[in-house]
A and B are shown apart, each in its own frame.
Chain A
Amino acid sequence: MSSTPITMDNADTHSGITNAKLGVWLFLASEVMLFATLFTTYIVLRMGATSWPWGWDALNVPLATLNTAILISSSVTIVMAYARAYDKDVHGYRLWMAATIALSLAFLVVKGFEYGHEFKLGIGPSTSVFYAIYFTMTGLHGIHIIGGILLNSGLLAMSFSKEHWENPLFLGRVEGAGLYWHFVDIVWIFLFPALYLL
């Protein structure tokens, strides 16, 4: 029986793109379809409604603006973490990745305050069509934030292991996590004006 170990290297495709990166982009393509479906639903419901509330009247715009700033900041911190990983600066990487996770948690805390205030007023998904689509879209986005926190926490933990840090695949993993996180940011960039401002 052969004892030759199976190695995967970085498995570059003939296109010059790593398999991991191709996989992340295909996953993001499916995510685009998921959120595009929800945005289409939002448009259909809004166009069919006899009236639609202004976000300023129905939701907490200052808190949502704060959350937008937090999420944009986290997009910068994760790209800075990638830059530090690229330069093999493990301490810098840990610092920026920890900042990304902290900002992500801050986003969830602010969102929790917002939801909590709405629930206290007796507002829920069944209150109206507007709130139904609001809770559905922001809730699904929140689940993506939680997924990103778990992913980024895993990558932060891996950096404490020399074996993982020195693995040539590690930088690609950080880049993949960054791509996912930026996508989550882009979704919020459209959710914020669609639900809160327009």
Chain B
Amino acid sequence: MANKADAAHETAHDDHRPNVKLYIGVFAALLFFTCITVVISKFHLPRPQAIALGLFVAAIKASLVAAIFMHLWGEKKLIYSFIVVTFAFATMMWVPIFEGYAIRPKLLYPVAVADQHPDEAAAAAATDASAPAAASAPAPGAQP
């Protein structure tokens, strides 16, 4: 029984034969990218560019750790499916953020629209001009 288990065990791990030289190379790359991230942050780039660049470098580092150290490079499809489903659910949490900060403020705060999108503000003002008349008219189906 032990031999059978041992054989199964060896088979399960043959795909992930350690590659020490590769590990050292990834280690050097991770340290290099860490230095890059810190140096970039000293330049005080505008926030959106700084955040995009910082997260891009972090994503490269995380990909290296996942692909090489966690042996995801050449992993079974079932593990990939776990990861895809997990990140799909994680991404779903971002939908309310987009709705709350990219769409709703334009509806709730027309002043911000006036500052950022003058053409849209003019159209909104034209709509508002006709609003009192519409508001004074009885709603369809309303009781007198």
Contacts and interface: CB of A to CB of B under 8 A. Distances in A.
B109 interface: no
Contact of A56 (B41, B65, B76, B94): B41
A33 B6 CA distance: 34
Contact of A36 (B41, B42, B90): B90
Main secondary structure of the interface of B (DSSP, over half): helix
Interface stretch (A5-13, A100-108, A126-134, A136-144): A5-13
Contacts of B24: 76
A193 B18 contact: no
| Residue of A16, A43, A194 contacting most chain B CB atoms (<10 Å) | A16
Interface stretch (A66-74, A109-117, A149-157): A66-74
A40 interface: yes
B31 A197 contact: no
A65 interface: yes
Nearest to A185: B65
Contact of B76 (A16, A172, A182, A190): A16
Contact of A73 (B27, B79, B93): B27
A193 B69 contact: no
A83 interface: yes
A182 B58 contact: no
B97 A178 contact: no
Given A33-B89, A193-B41, A182 B34 contact: no
Interface string B14-53: 0011101001101100110010011011101001001100
Interface size class of B (residues with CB under 8 A): 35 or more
Contacts of B41: 55-56, 61, 193, 196-198
Interface in A16-62: 16-18, 21-22, 25-26, 29, 32-33, 36-37, 40, 43-44, 47-48, 54-56, 61
A198 B13 contact: no
A192 interface: yes
A189 B54 contact: no
Given A32-B90, A65-B38, A198-B54, 16 more contacts: A9-B1, A12-B8, A16-B76, A36-B93, A40-B93, A40-B94, A43-B97, A44-B100, A69-B31, A80-B20, A168-B5, A179-B70, A182-B70, A193-B41, A198-B41, A198-B47
17 contacts: A10-B5, A15-B78, A22-B78, A40-B97, A44-B97, A55-B41, A61-B38, A65-B34, A73-B27, A80-B23, A83-B23, A168-B6, A175-B16, A179-B70, A193-B37, A197-B50, A198-B55
Query: What are the 6 closest A-B residue pairs judged by CB atoms, nearest first?
Result: A83-B18, A197-B41, A36-B90, A193-B54, A9-B5, A29-B86
